[in-house]
Structure 1
Amino acid sequence: MKFFRQFTVKIALLFLLLLLLMGIALAFFTMRITDSRQIEIDQIVNWNLATDMAGEIAPMLEEYSSPADIEPAIHYMMVLNPAIEVYVLDREGNILAYFVEPGDALARTQVSLDPILDFINNRRKPPLFGDDPRNIERQKHFSAAEISFSQNRKGYLYIVLQSTIYDMAADMLQERILSRALARALLLSLVFVGLMGLVLFSLLTRRLKQLIRSVKAFEDGDLSRRTSFRSRDEIGKLAAAFNGMAETISANLEALKQNDQLRRELVANVSHDLRNPLTSIQGFVETLLIKQDTLEGAEVKRYLEIILNEVTRLNKLVHELFELSKLEAKENTPAPEVFSLTELIQDIKVSCDAIAGKRGVELNASLPQTLFLVHADVHMIERVLSNLIDNAIKFAAPEHGRVLIGAEEQNGHIRVRVTDNGAGIPENEITHIFDRFYTSDKTRSRRVAGSGLGLSIAAKILELHDAELSVESVAGKGSTFSFSLPLVVC
C-alpha cells in the first residue's frame, strides 16, 4: 500500500485512468461515426429499392381489392432480406399492409409523410430518416416510392432499411466490438502507457522529490539545507519559495539567539547596576545604625548624600527601563507641535554645561542663526538630545575631552550632529549599538555611570517620528551621532 501512496504513482494512475476514459470515449464516438457513415452508404445503395419492389408488387395491388391481401408477399420479401421492413401507406401515411411475427405489434399506425415526400422528390441529400413503426421513439433510414391501388387510389411503399432483427444483430456485434476495444485499450494502457507513465512521471517529479528531501532535512534540523535547481516553472517557484522561507527562518532563529544572549547580558548589567547602589545604600545605612552615637554631623550628612545619590541612580535606571518598554510597546505616542530646534539645542547645551564642566569636558555648539522650525514632540526630541549629549560627555576622552553639537540644513531637513573625541566604537559593534539588549565595551561602560539604555531610547523616539538615528565612528578618534527632521515652511 505504501507504493500507491507515492505522489508519482498517484499521478501515473490518474494519467492511466484518463487515457482509459479517453480510449472508451474514442471507441464510442468512432463507432457512432462508423454507424452514421454506414447508414448513409446503406441508404444510397438501396435508394431505388422501393421503386424496384413497387414495380414487382404493382400487379398484386391492382388484382387484390385490399392492400392487406398482399401481406404474404410482404412477408416473403422480408424473408428474402431480413434487414428490411416493408409497409404500404395511404395518402395520409396510415399503414395499410405490413408483416410482424406473432406476438409482436406496431408501435404506431401512421408515419409522417414529410421525409417520404422529401425522399421521392429528391429535396434532401442522404441520410434521410423517417418514423419507425415499431418504435415510437426512434427514426430510421428508409427507401420509398409512390404506388397505385385498385380503383386508381394512390399510396406509398415505405421500406425501413434497418429492421428489428438487424438492430438486434447490430447491438450484439457492437457490444462485442466495444468489449474487445475496451479490453485492448485497457491492456495497452496497463502495459505500455502505465510503464511509460511511471518512467516519465519519475523524471518529471525528480526535482519535486529533491525538494521533499530538502524540506525533510530542514525539518530534521539541517537549517543549512537548500535546493540547488533553478527553473521558471511551478516547481522552480516552489523551490525558490522554500529557499526564501528557510533563509528567513534561519535568520529569525539567529536573531532569537542573539537577542537571548543580549537579554542575558542586559540582565547581568542591570543586576550589576542595581546591586552596586543597593549594596552601597545597605552599607551606609548599617553604618549609620551602628555608629549613630559616635558619628559627627558632617559625617552623617556625607553618608546621607551618598545614599541619596545611589537612590537617584536607581530611580533613573528604573525610569529608563520603564520608558524604553513603553516606547517599544508604542504606548507613548508623539504629540507634535511646531518649535525651534536650534533654540531647544541651545537650552539643552546650557543645562549640560555644568555636567560637562565637572567631567572636564569642553562642550560647544555650532548652530546657525536661523531659527529652524520643526513639527515634532518637543519633549521627546529634548529627551533624544539630552541622551546623545549626556552619552557624548560620558565617553569623551578622559583628558581634554571635547563634545561638539552641530546643526545644518540639508534638502529641506535639519541635520543635528553630536560628536565626541572619545575612544570610538569598534566596527563590529556599530550595527548593534542601538539594540535594546546591547551594551558596547562592557569594561568601559562599567567605569562610566549609566544604564546603557540612552541610545536605545533615543533611537525608538526618532523611529516614532519616522526618523533614524545614525552613527559614524573611528577607533581612537571618537563618534558622531546624527538625525534629521523635516523643516516647517512658514
Structure 2
Amino acid sequence: MSIRRRLMTRFIGLLAGAVILILVLGGGIAYWVIQQLNEASLVEDFASVGLEQLISTAEILPDGTVRYDPELLKRVEENNGWLQVLDEQGHVVDAFHTPSDVPNHYNPGELISYWEGRKPFPYQLYMLIRERNGINFTLLYGESNQAVTMLEQTFSGGSYANDKLVLQSELQEVIRSADAYLLILDQQGRVLASFNEPAMGTPDSYSIQDLILRTRYPTRYGMTTVTIYDEQNQSTWMLSVPLARNPAVVNENPYRFIFGPALIALLISIITLLVLLALWYANRFGYPMLHMLQWLQRLERGHYEEPTGPRGKPRSQKGNGKWRQKYRVYAEVLRSIQTLSSTLKRDEELRKQTESLREEWIAGITHDLKTPLSSIQGYAHMLEAEKYNWTSDEVREFAGIMLDKSMYMDRLVNDLAMTYRLRSGGYQPPVEQTDVNTLLEDLVHRAERNPAYGGGRITFQPAPVPVNGHVHIPSFERIVDNLTANALLHNPPNTTLVVSVQSGEQTGDFCVQFADDGRGMDPETVWKLFERYYRGTDTATSDVGSGLGMAVTKGLIEAMKGRIEVQSALGKGTVIRLIWDRHSDKV
C-alpha cells in the first residue's frame, strides 16, 4: 500500500473513531438526561407518569399478587401514597401501603363517585386500567392532598365579605402549623386579602398562566398550590403549602439542573476528547515527521546517522531493526532518507578518497614532470657553460639524454590528454572485425622481443576455435603493451605471464586473460588500480611508463564496448580479464 493511501486510510479511520466516540458520549449523556427527566416527571407528577411505569413494569405472580419495581414503590411511599389492584368485580387482589380508612371492595358506582369527587373521599384518586397477560385489572393510586383538604375546610369554615377575610381560630392554627398562606384574588387576579402571607417573595397579582403553572408544577415553586372559585363573590381562594420534599428548590426550574449539567458535561467531554485526539495525532503523526525533519537537518550539517534515543539506538526502529508502530506509516519516506544518508555518506568517503588520490596524483605528476625537466635544464646549463669544452661524443650523449627525457614528458602529456578524452567520451575509435587469436599472438611475440622484459616470461594460449571480434587494432595494441608492461615491470624478475583467449557463447563474444604469478595486490590497490596516475613513477629510466597506463587501458576497452575485471590477492598473483559480450554492450 502506498504512503498516500495508507495516510488516507489512517486519517479516515481516526476521524471515524472520533465521530463514533462523540456519538457514544452524546448517547450516554442523552440517556442520563432522559433518566433525569423521568425522575423529575416522577417527582412533579407521579400520578400520571409513575402509574404508567408501574403498569408497564408490573409482573403478575402465580398466586395472583403483583410484583412492582422497588424504586417506584419507594417513590409511592415518599409521596405518602398507596396502591390497590382491583379485579373486574371491584375486589382488592393486591395492595401496597394502604391506610386503614381505605375500603378493600368497591362497587362500580361507588368507585366512580369517589374518582369524580361526587362522594367525599379522604384521598385524591388516580386510576389506570391495563391488560396484562390476558387479564384486565385496575390500578388504583391514592394520595393524601393536605392542601386540598385544608383549602376545603378553610372555604367551608371561613368567609370573605366587605373586603374582610374571617377565619375560625382552629383554621388559622392549621394554616400556621403547615406554614401555609391563604390569598383571596379578584377577577383580575389582584390580591384582595391574605392570611399568613410571607412578608416578601409573593406577587401582588396573579395571571391565569401563573395559577396554572403553580398548580401544575409545584416543585418549580416549592409550593403545592390549590384553588377554589367562589361564584357568589366571583373571587378565587388560593392556598399554598410548602413541599415537604426538597424545600431548597424554590422559584427554580427543575429542568435547569438537568440540561445545564448535561450541556456542560457534553462540552467538557468533547473538548477533552478533541485535546486528547490532538495530542494523539501529534504523537502518532507529528513526532515521526519531526524526527525526519531533524534527520534532514543533520544531513544538511554533514551528519549522516539517524538521530538516536537515550539508549543510542535509532528512534524509528525496534531492537530487531523493524519499524516502530508510529513510524510504519512513513516507511517509504524513512527508507528513502536512509538510502539518501547512505549515499551521502558513501559520497563523502569517496570525496575524501578522491581528494587524497588527487593530491597524490598532483604530487606524482609534478614529480615526474619536474624530474626530466631538471635533467634537461642541467644538461642545457652544462652545454651552455663556456668553461667546459665538450667533445662531440659528449654533446651527442647529452643530447640523447635530453631527447629521452623530453620524449617521456611527451608520452606523459599525451596519456593525460587521452585519459580526459576517454573520460569525456570524446574518443570513439573505429572498430573492425579481426581474428583475435592471430592479432594477440603477433602482439605477444613482439612483446617477447622487448629486452626490458627478459626472455621466456610470456606464454600465449590461443582459443581452440577461431575468434572474430570487433576491435580497434591500434588501441588493442596499446592495451596489450600496457598490461604486459604492468605485469612484468612491477613484479619480481622471475614473474611469468600467461596470455590466453577464450571464445564466448555468442558470435563476436570473447575474453582475453592476462594471468601472472607475481606478488599480487591488496584490495585497496585493486580498487585504485584504474585511477589516473595512482602510482607515481620513478623517471630515472624512461621505460617505466607514465603512470596512466591502466587508466588509459580501462578507457580504451570501454570505448570499444568491452569491460575489464581484476582478481588479485597478495602473494597469489593477478588475473586481468578483458571481456566483450552482449552484457558489456548494454552497459
Identify the TM-score tier after normalising by the shorter chain: 0.5 to 0.7
1:215 aligns with 2:309: no
In the other structure, the counterpart of 1:393 is 488
In the other structure, the counterpart of 1:237 is 332
1:419 aligns with 2:419: no
In the other structure, the counterpart of 1:405 is 499
> Following superposition of structure 1 onto structure 2, how do residues 32-431 of structure 1 map, counting pairs within 5 Å?
189-190=270-271, 192-205=272-285, 206-225=287-306, 227=314, 228-229=316-317, 230-231=322-323, 233-290=328-385, 294-355=389-450, 357-361=451-455, 362-368=457-463, 370-398=465-493, 400-412=494-506, 413-431=509-527
In the other structure, the counterpart of 1:96 is none
The CA deviation string for residues 452-479 of structure 1, in whole angstroms up to 9 with x for no partner, is 2111111122223443212222434532
Counterpart amino acid of residue 431 in structure 1: W
1:297 Cα deviation after fit: 1.3
Counterpart amino acid of residue 360 in structure 2: E
Contact (CA 8 Å) 1:397, 1:421: kept in 2 or not? Answer: no
Distance 2:432 2:415 in 1: 24
Contact (CA 8 Å) 1:401, 1:421: kept in 2 or not? Answer: yes
Distance 1:359 1:408 in 2: 25
Distance 1:457 1:284 in 2: 32
1:354 Cα deviation after fit: 3.3
In the other structure, the counterpart of 2:529 is 433
Distance 1:384 1:285 in 2: 36
Query: Do the aligned partners of residues 369 and 200 (structure 1) sit closer, same or farther apart at CA in structure 2, a change above 3 Å counting?
Result: closer
Distance 1:250 1:475 in 2: 29
Contact (CA 8 Å) 1:374, 1:486: kept in 2 or not? Answer: no
Distance 2:264 2:334 in 1: 42
Contact (CA 8 Å) 1:395, 1:420: kept in 2 or not? Answer: no
Contact (CA 8 Å) 1:339, 1:373: kept in 2 or not? Answer: yes
Partner of 1:449: helix, strand, or coil?
A: coil
Contact (CA 8 Å) 2:459, 2:497: kept in 1 or not? Answer: yes
Contact (CA 8 Å) 1:425, 1:473: kept in 2 or not? Answer: yes
Partner of 1:295: helix, strand, or coil?
A: coil
Distance 1:292 1:182 in 2: 119
Distance 1:438 1:459 in 2: 14
Contact (CA 8 Å) 2:538, 2:544: kept in 1 or not? Answer: no
Contact (CA 8 Å) 2:465, 2:503: kept in 1 or not? Answer: no
1:196 Cα deviation after fit: 1.4
Query: Do the aligned partners of residues 216 and 347 (structure 1) sit closer, same or farther apart at CA in structure 2, a change above 3 Å counting?
Result: same
Contact (CA 8 Å) 2:428, 2:560: kept in 1 or not? Answer: no
Report % sequence identity.
Answer: 21
Distance 1:295 1:196 in 2: 102
Contact (CA 8 Å) 2:448, 2:454: kept in 1 or not? Answer: no
Contact (CA 8 Å) 1:380, 1:461: kept in 2 or not? Answer: yes
Distance 2:410 2:403 in 1: 10
The CA deviation string for residues 318-374 of structure 1, in whole angstroms up to 9 with x for no partner, is 00000000000000124222111122212322332332x234253332224644101
Query: Do the aligned partners of residues 410 and 291 (structure 1) sit closer, same or farther apart at CA in structure 2, a change above 3 Å counting?
Result: farther
Query: Do the aligned partners of residues 257 and 474 (structure 1) sit closer, same or farther apart at CA in structure 2, a change above 3 Å counting?
Result: closer
Distance 1:383 1:295 in 2: 40
Give 1 or 2: higher helix fraction: 1
1:184 Cα deviation after fit: 9.1
1:383 Cα deviation after fit: 2.5
Contact (CA 8 Å) 2:431, 2:560: kept in 1 or not? Answer: no
Distance 1:183 1:435 in 2: 78
> Following superposition of structure 1 onto structure 2, how do residues 465-484 of structure 1 map, counting pairs within 5 Å?
465-484=560-579
Partner of 2:344: helix, strand, or coil?
A: helix
Query: Do the aligned partners of residues 260 and 446 (structure 1) sit closer, same or farther apart at CA in structure 2, a change above 3 Å counting?
Result: farther
Query: Do the aligned partners of residues 443 and 341 (structure 1) sit closer, same or farther apart at CA in structure 2, a change above 3 Å counting?
Result: closer
Larger mean Cα displacement after TM superposition, 217-226 or 264-273: 217-226
Partner of 1:211: helix, strand, or coil?
A: helix
TM-align CA RMSD: 3.7
The CA deviation string for residues 382-402 of structure 1, in whole angstroms up to 9 with x for no partner, is 33222212222322423x343
In the other structure, the counterpart of 1:461 is 556
In the other structure, the counterpart of 2:107 is none
The CA deviation string for residues 441-461 of structure 1, in whole angstroms up to 9 with x for no partner, is x68898872222111111122
Counterpart amino acid of residue 513 in structure 2: R
Distance 2:301 2:570 in 1: 44
Q: Which runs of 5+ in 1 are unaligned?
A: 1-10, 27-180
Distance 1:220 1:353 in 2: 57
Give the TM-score normalised by structure 2: 0.48
1:254 Cα deviation after fit: 1.1
Partner of 1:406: helix, strand, or coil?
A: strand
Query: Do the aligned partners of residues 209 and 437 (structure 1) sit closer, same or farther apart at CA in structure 2, a change above 3 Å counting?
Result: farther
Partner of 2:442: helix, strand, or coil?
A: helix
Counterpart amino acid of residue 198 in structure 1: A
Contact (CA 8 Å) 1:396, 1:420: kept in 2 or not? Answer: no
Contact (CA 8 Å) 2:461, 2:501: kept in 1 or not? Answer: yes
Larger mean Cα displacement after TM superposition, 361-370 or 277-286: 361-370
Distance 2:442 2:547 in 1: 24
The CA deviation string for residues 278-298 of structure 1, in whole angstroms up to 9 with x for no partner, is 001111111111169611111
* Rg comparison, structure with higher value: 2
1:245 Cα deviation after fit: 0.6
Counterpart amino acid of residue 461 in structure 1: L
The CA deviation string for residues 193-244 of structure 1, in whole angstroms up to 9 with x for no partner, is 3211222113312333333333333333322235542448441221111111
